[in-house]
Each structure stands twice: as structure tokens, then as C-alpha cells.
Structure 1
Amino acid sequence: MRDYAKERPEHTEKYIGENDLFLEIFHGRGDSRQSVRPPLLFVHGAFTGSWMWSKYIPHFISAGWNSYCINLRGHYKSRSADFTKILFEDYLEDIRLVISEIVEECGTPPIVIGFSMGGILSQKLAESVGIAGLVLIDSSICREVHAEVPYRDLALRMPGLVVPAPARDEQISIDETFEDIAFQRKYLSMESAKAFGAFSFHFGAEGISVEGERITCPSLVICAVNDESDDHRGRATARHIGGEYLGLRGTTHTGLLVGQRYSEAVSRIIDWLARFDG
């Protein structure tokens, strides 16, 4: 199995806060525009950690972007935590802490790039925390978007004390190879049922309300699209926060980060980031 996490560029690591959040910092390579650019903060989704960005990071480093990768409490190399007690709000507090750390180091707030659960966390955070920009990659949707384009025929799965890691028993997907899936299977871990129960409509949640008009930074929404409802939800999310939209047909949720077409999303993000070179 190819372990993409071990192929990432050299970087620095540190633990911050009382929960010993594991933060990885990648320094952009020699771009003269670094001094005017805000840094990037990558926020992972459920069950994962900073390792999920392993294919993305080299592209942003090569393009000269300083990048921070958070690990929420209990994830990857952050200190172990009791997943039976962790709340959605606890994860919000983790991201706030890291943004404060970045502002102290860099003198400017970051552009936040959130995937899946990290996307709904980032949306909620952007209501009240000043950030330079927001990129959502196949984000979990907010209550308002679900009201507009609801999931149909949900087979609700009520969480227990924790949500076990996805098994990923399949060998391939439409945009992931055997190696792509095996890489994820190596690192996937359990998740907080209470956090899931707050935002996941598949777990019977009422959803997280996001006041889109309070999100005033530039934003970009990228979605995996396999049917019209996927596209409608993605467009509704972009409208709700006043952002640009890209739907990538024939891709999967995790494939957008680690699959064979991940570079299409990366290219769009890098093009969108050009606005910050001013």
C-alpha cells in the first residue's frame, strides 16, 4: 500500500492547547507573493485527520502557500479524547484556538479550507470569527440548505456512544483506486456520536443553522456530483453563503481529496486563491 502521508514535504509540528491538538505547518516554496498572502488552514472531516490532505498539500506548497493542518481533539496524533463526550461545539473551539495561533504567528487570519464535517464546522465558525476566505469541499450541509433541498428516503442510523470508523470494504470506487482506499482504511478512526448527532441528517439531526448573510469573506463551494440533487444542494450552499460553485460530476465524497481526480479540485482552488495575491 502506498502511504501518501509519508510522502508529504518537510514540515514543522507542534501541540497546542489543553487538548494537545496536533498542528502541522508546511511552508510555501519561495513565492515572492507570500508576504501579502494569508496562510491556509485545512480542516479535516469526521473519522480522519491532517493525513487526509496528503495529496493536496504538495500542490499548495509548490504554489507558495503557507499551510496549516489542524487535527481536532482526539484525531490522528492529537491527544486521545473521550469520544462519548465530545460535542460539535468542542470542535469549533479547537478551530478557534488554531486560528488565534495563526493570527499570532502570521499577523493575519487564514483562508479556511474545510472538508465534509470540517466544512459545516468552518461555515458555523465563519459567522463570528474573522477569516480571509472560505473553501468548502463536499461540506456537510446546514439546516437552511436541507430545508431547500432535503435528502429523500433517509434510512436513519441512530448513533451509539461513538460512531465506528467506516469499513471501506469496497476495492475501488468510480474515482478511487485500491491504493487510495487502502490508504484511508489504514488511518480512519472512530468519531463522536454527539457531534454527528448535531449535524448529520443521516443520523436524525435537526442540523446546524448557518446565518449565511454573516459570512462576508470570499468563498468557494466544491461538490462531488452524481445526481441532480447533489448539484442542487451544492448550488444552494454556495448561494446561502454568497460563494462561487464548482460541481465535479462522477466523483465521490472522499475521492475529491484522495481519489484519481483530486487535482481538478486543487486546480480550481489555486485559481480561486489568485484573488489574494493583490
Structure 2
Amino acid sequence: MRDTAGHGRARELLERQPAEDSGRPPLLFVPGLGHGAWCWERWLDAAAEAGWPAYAVSLRGHGESPGRLRTALLGHYAADVVATATALPRPPVLVGHSMGGLVVQRALARYAARAAVLLAPVPAHPAVASLAAIARRHPLDALRIVGGGSLPLRPEYLFHELGAAEAQTLSDRCGAESALAQYQLLLHRPAGPPLGAPPVLVLATPDDRLVPIRGVRATARRYGAEVVEFPGMGHDLMLDARWRQPLDAMLAWLDARFPTERKAGA
């Protein structure tokens, strides 16, 4: 897949295909702040096993994707998602985590996705509450963000139930984030209304240490979305110990909206 930033190298796109093509829309997974496509590997495998074509993209400057991280804006990330979606065989369901959830909200205003799933998304409105939550736990981390540094993705921010060694290993795989994009998280305006009024599902945890649940619930109301919460889990729902629970909730929701041809004719 060609990179929209004009660097020529292919944008990183992980892919898993089901054993049989049931005609269902593909799932396009979008990572959050400092994460790459790698963070969706478990969900990619499980989604394909359940019959869904599954893809995960690394946004520009993340993972193995080209592009300048230093100058990246949320609009650039949304363009990456739209370009990736339009290159897939069929219009996909967009699945975004954290900052990726906000990027998906912006992409929905420009691209008619089949549906959307937001995991612990940065809220539709400015995420000042997230900065306050960080400041209460690690004041220097909040000062670092304000000063233009990248938020250190500590294990305690991301996980609640993993063992210390595994949590640290996953945290170490995370990278830096654009200072400009981080500023936008604190100052952005809500995205425009989604094209085509796609159904939206929100998955979240009330124990999130990065994105307070109040803002997540407000975002769900804005999209008329169902909210399913998983108490005790950390911000990285797709990587914490009980990662299968939110995945199963998503797949059940998708199954009800996009049955296979066999199920539809049963």
C-alpha cells in the first residue's frame, strides 16, 4: 500500500484473512498514541478465525510506516485511515483505540464506513480531563506533554491485570508520539457528523487511567452508540489480560449487523 505522505515506501498494513470469504466487510484497526499495527495482532488473528477479513495500519511515523512523526497532525492520521480504507477490497468497519478512536471519528466525517468501533477513545471534545488524570498520577509527565515531549507510556497507564514482566515488554514496544498531535488532543474541535450514519459501538473501562470514562460516555451519546464497559481492565483493552472479553463483545455486535450469507439464509 502506497504512503499518502509521498515517501514512496509502503504504509505498514498487517493482514489476516478468514478460511472462507463470507462477504462480510473487512475490519480496519487503527492504533492509538505511540502504538503501531502490532498492538492488534491478537485481535487480527481472532477476528480472522471468526470469519472476518482483518487489517491493522500503522499511522505515519509509527511502526514501519514512513512519514515525519514530528510534523504529523490528527488530520494527517485521518487521511492515512481514509486512504487505507479506500484501498481495501470492500468498505470496512473502522476500529480505533485511544487517539486512534479520535482519528476514526475524524475519518468518519470524510468516509462512509460500514460501521465503527471505538475502544477507550479520546473524547469527541478536548481531552483536558486526560491531562488532569496524568498530572494527578505523574505531574512530570503532564509537564512533559505541555512542554512538547511525548507522553511516556508507562505500564501502569496501559494495563491493570498483566504480570509486571509482560506489561513492561508491551510498554517497551510503544514509541513516541507527535507533539503537535498531542496538543490537538487537548484543543481539538469535535469531528463533523459521520457520513452515512454508520452504527457505532464503544468499548471502555471505568478504570482507565488515561481517558476518564465520563468523556467516553459523552462521546458515545454523541454518536448514539451502545457502550460496553469492562471494569478492572486497563486502557489497552486489546492487550490487557482479559483482551478476549471486549473482542467477543465487538464480534457479537458485528455478527448481529453483518451476518454471513449462510446465517442470513438460515
TM-score, with normalisation over the residues of structure 1? 0.79
Alignment correspondent of 1:90: 76
Determine if the alignment matches structure 1 residue 183 to structure 2 residue 169.
Answer: yes
Query: Following the alignment from structure 2 to structure 1, what is the Cα–Cα distance between the partners of residues 55 and 34?
Result: 19
Query: 2:249 aligned with 1:271, yes or no?
Result: no
Structure 1 residue 183, shift from structure 2 partner: 3.0
1:68 to 31, 34, 55: 55
What's 1:25 paired with? Answer: 15
Letter of the 1:74 counterpart: G
One-letter amino acid of the structure 2 residue matched with residue 232 of structure 1: R
Determine if contact 1:115/1:139 at 8 Å carries over to the other structure: yes
Match of 2:240 in 1: 259
> In 1, Cα distance between the equivalents of 2:125 and 2:165?
35
C-alpha displacement of 1:133: 0.5
Residues 88/175 of structure 1: CA separation in 2 closer, same or farther (3 Å cut): same
Where do residues 135-214 of structure 1 align in structure 2 (5 Å cutoff)?
A: 135-143=117-125, 153=132, 155=135, 156-157=142-143, 158-163=145-150, 165-168=152-155, 173-199=159-185, 205-212=186-193
Aligned twin of 2:205: 224
Deviation at 1:84, TM superposition (A): 2.2
Q: Pick from 86, 91, 106: which aligns with 1:100?
A: 86
Are the equivalent residues in 2 in contact too, given 1:47–1:75 (CA < 8 A)? yes
8 Å Cα contact 2:101/2:120 also seen in 1: yes
Q: Structure 1's 38 and 139: CA in aligned 2 closer, same or farther, altered over 3 A?
A: same
Gaps of 5+ in 1: 1-13, 200-204
> What is the rounded CA distance, in whole Å, between the counterparts of 2:152 and 2:131 in structure 1?
24
Q: State the distance in 2 between where 1:246 and 1:175 align.
A: 19
User: 1:26 deviation in Å?
Assistant: 1.1
Asked whether the equivalents of residues 110 and 195 of structure 2 are also in contact (C-alpha less than 8 Å), the reply is yes
User: What is the RMSD of the two structures over their aligned residues, measured on CA atoms?
Assistant: 2.7
**Alignment-mate amino acid for residue 210 of structure 1:** A
In the aligned structure 1, how far is the partner of 2:169 from the partner of 2:2? 25
By how many angstroms is 1:214 displaced? 5.4
CA offset at residue 162 of structure 1?
4.4
Query: 1:193-240: per-residue Cα shift (whole Å, max 9, x none)?
Result: 0011101xxxxx22331345756101100111128x944333322111
> Within 2, Cα distance between the matches of 1:71 and 1:184?
16
Match of 1:42 among 29, 42, 56: 29
**SS of the residue 2:187 aligns to:** coil
SS in 2 for 1:221: strand
Is contact 1:212-1:240 (8 Å) kept? no
Aligned residues: 246
> Where does structure 2 lack aligned partners over 5 or more consecutive residues?
136-141
Shift of 1:36: 2.5
